[in-house]
Amino acid sequence: MEGLKKLVFLIIGWVFLILGIFGLFLPFLQGILFIMIGLAILSSQSKRIRDLLKKMEKRYPHLHQRLEVWKEKIRNWFKKEMP
């Protein structure tokens, strides 16, 4: 069950990242928002992403605060859906 949960998080995180990349070029998608959500999801599963986010935190503290808000919202969504 734990492996399935990890796989779901990885798939959802990568989907958001890909949508974010498309959103950088398409006017109707919010690219940065999707990238931040994707990174927030992937950071729970990947040490490399966590390290990248630590570097971003030092360089862009205001963006890090937004990311932390989204991470908390995402955690709350999954806590409500998964018993």
* Nearest one of 76, 6, 72, 80 to 40, comparing CA atoms: 72
pLDDT (average), residues 11-22: 91
Q: Residue 81: what pLDDT?
A: 56
pLDDT (average), residues 48-75: 80
pLDDT at 83 > cutoff 70: no
pLDDT (average), residues 3-8: 83
Q: Which helix (H) or strand (E) holds 9?
A: helix 2-25
Give, as one character, the DSSP assignment of residue 12.
H
Q: Residue 18: what pLDDT?
A: 93
State the pLDDT confidence band at 8, using cuts at 50, 70 and 90.
confident
Side chain identity at residue 53, one-letter code: L
